Amino acid sequence: MVLKDNYGVYGYRFQENPVLPLYQLFAVGFQDIRQQEYDWDGMKRVDGPLYLFQYTISGRGKVELDGHIHDVPEGTSFLVEIPGKHRYYLPQDSSHWTFYFALFRQSHLQHLWQGILHELGPLPQFEPRSLAIRRLETIYSEARTGAIKDGYYASSLVYSFMMELLRSGSVQRQERSNWPEIVRRAADFIELNYRVLEGLDQIAEAAGSSKYHLARTFHQATSFSPMAYTSKLRIELAVKLLRSSSLSVEEIAREVGYQNGSYFSKVFRSWTGYSPSRFREGKELLSIDQIVFD
């Protein structure tokens, strides 16, 4: 049960640092709306330029984006730019709309915001206890207790929230349950056969797809091309063998799927920044036994 005393809106007007790129929190709030007059038109607001993230805790609102009206029920958020061609409001058939929101100055955030929109879209859904929403709740809690006293701390909170939004998109993409069937079939085939794979044609045939459709769909789902995914698995195994075996570089190259040590060394350097020999010797390098690539 949410207590009425928990609701509130807190605004900030910290001076921008002329040297450091601080992320500026403009306002954060937790509101329970029950009046039909609640209606914001993004083209009529004068407090921008701002970015808005709003997340529904209970009830339901509506948002109009690009001429299309969308429900914003429990667990759904929306991201808009102010000013912008959008409108969000409490519809007549909804008894209330309870939500968290945060407004950010656009300065220094443009690339991050566009990246988040690219990863999540304008209407992402989150579980209430997801890390992204917990970060948003933390910003509000810190505001409510008076802990946000300067732009540096505010900037750290904003950055943490933005990173969690980006991470949530990456995690969703990495979850196999979200991958199209042909991507799952291709990934299963690669993981079983990456040491002996010769090219994309083999993978596409196993997945039951044209190689062009597979390449595009695989990259959209995983951020890797099928052959890059193959290289990723090969280099991850090579790292383990370089640290844990006495095999020569040439032998490791053949073990992980490369025909010769020269080409293997070139690929290994492109993924790790070091030659296999230097990585194995570990001189002036951190002693790493395993590397995970994302």
The DSSP code for 258 is -
Q: What is the pLDDT of residue 143?
A: 95
pLDDT of residue 178: 75
Candidates 233, 221, 223; CA nearest to 194 is 233
Pairing of strands 50-65, 86-89: antiparallel
pLDDT at 1: 44
The answer to whether the beta carbons of residues 96 and 34 sit under 8 Å apart is: yes
What's the confidence (pLDDT) of residue 211?
A: 92
Return the pLDDT at 205: 94
Number of C-beta neighbours around residue 126 at 10 A: 20
Residue 132 contacts by C-beta under 8 Å, 6 or more apart in sequence? 126, 161, 164, 165, 167, 168
Domains and CATH numbers, the chain: 4-174 (2.60.120.280), 180-281 (1.10.10.60)
Identify the pLDDT of residue 137.
96
Q: Give the mean pLDDT per block of 10 residues along the chain (294 residues).
A: 73 82 94 92 91 97 94 96 96 96 94 91 92 96 95 95 87 71 94 92 94 92 91 93 91 94 93 89 62 66
Q: Which residues contact 48 (CB under 8 A, 6 or more apart)?
A: 81, 82, 83, 106
Amino acid (1-letter code) at residue 107: S
Determine contact, residues 75/126, Cβ cutoff 8 Å. Answer: yes
Say how far apart CA 88 and CA 49 lie, in whole Å. 17
The pLDDT, as a whole number, for residue 119 is: 83
CA distance 78 to 117: 10
- For residue 13, the one-letter residue type is R
Peptide bond into 226 cis (omega under 30): no
Overall size of the chain counted in residues: 294
Rounded CA-CA distance 31/28 in Å is 10
